[in-house]
Structure 1
């Protein structure tokens, strides 16, 4: 009896964790689309509390790069941006076929100021997104499709 209670508890905990991870993914993309420092800080703090995984580190990297826009002073902005670049690039290096990571990098490259020279992989990332798009889950396909509506690099027609 006690063993079945423990197993039942573990199953509930596993379900709650997987649901929380989905919620965090949604919260992450909302924060990425947001222009509110408070929203970005809140999601970054929740990511810091999570177990480090390639996805969590990629999300932290991108949000850290976005956070750089709120940092005072050019030196602080650059340092924060580079910290985010390092986190994301490490995840892409370790998972080069991960379409989501390529999408994350494309979004930053497309909007980063030219002076940062963080735009050398736009074409390569676009191709990775186009070729991997059909294998993504429906929620992520929707996020990418919505992004493509306003993107100068990635077009909705590329995804069909």
Structure 2
């Protein structure tokens, strides 16, 4: 029940930064011109509740030769969603292991990108702690806050930054000093 409510929270938060002018479908359109972050973010929200969208978007992004760090981050998120949609415990763990490796690669390619760090943080925050997939929560939180302090948002637009800050505050994983700093940033956005 707690895990389900966390997924609902993530879905609600992700909806805050997704444009609503496109229609939702059960698959990814074949004519996506390139990895447009706005389109991918919208499809990721659909993928949270649809294994079909997850698989379709994963196949589309997985076919990109030499993906950027951000695209690798999206792939890591999709691998984590594949774990969510799988009923077989073996495949759940396999997909989480794959996601962990993909996120590591994404962070290596673009270590200061707050969107990549946020995706990994949100996955690790929502995976049960006893599985051991929470190794990067502190380092990701610190890097996100450091980049927000510098106003270095990379590919993240203002609504996404607002979502990231809100998620960090709601996660209750921040120190009192970080909470105060993030609240000030949120007020200034």
Band the TM-score falls in, shorter-chain normalisation: 0.7 to 0.9
Q: Does 1:54 align with 2:54?
A: no
Q: Does 1:143 align with 2:157?
A: no
In the other structure, the counterpart of 1:39 is 53
For residues 84 and 22 of structure 1, do their structure 2 counterparts lie closer, same or farther at Cα, with a shift above 3 Å needed?
closer
Structure 1 runs of 4+ with >3 Å offset: 154-158
Q: Give the total of aligned pairs.
A: 143
Correspondence for 1:77 among 61, 85, 92: 92
Where structure 1 has 5 or more consecutive residues not aligned to the other structure, the ranges are 1-15
Offset at residue 108 of structure 1 (A)? 0.9
Q: Does 1:101 align with 2:121?
A: no
Deviations 1:71-106 (A, max 9, x none): 132211111111111111112123322222211111
For residues 86 and 145 of structure 1, do their structure 2 counterparts lie closer, same or farther at Cα, with a shift above 3 Å needed?
same
| Greater RCO structure (CA 8 Å; 6+ sep) | 2
Offset at residue 59 of structure 1 (A)? 0.6
In the other structure, the counterpart of 2:82 is 67
Relative to structure 2, which stretch is displaced further, 106-115 or 139-148?
Answer: 139-148
What's the TM-score once normalised by structure 2's chain length?
A: 0.63
For residues 157 and 43 of structure 1, do their structure 2 counterparts lie closer, same or farther at Cα, with a shift above 3 Å needed?
farther
Offset at residue 135 of structure 1 (A)? 1.9
Distance 1:62 1:83 in 2: 10
Q: Counting helix residues as a fraction of each chain, which structure ranks higher?
A: 1
For residues 149 and 43 of structure 1, do their structure 2 counterparts lie closer, same or farther at Cα, with a shift above 3 Å needed?
farther
Retained in 2: the 8 A contact 1:145–1:156? no
The alignment yields a C-alpha RMSD, in angstroms, of 2.6
Retained in 2: the 8 A contact 1:106–1:122? yes
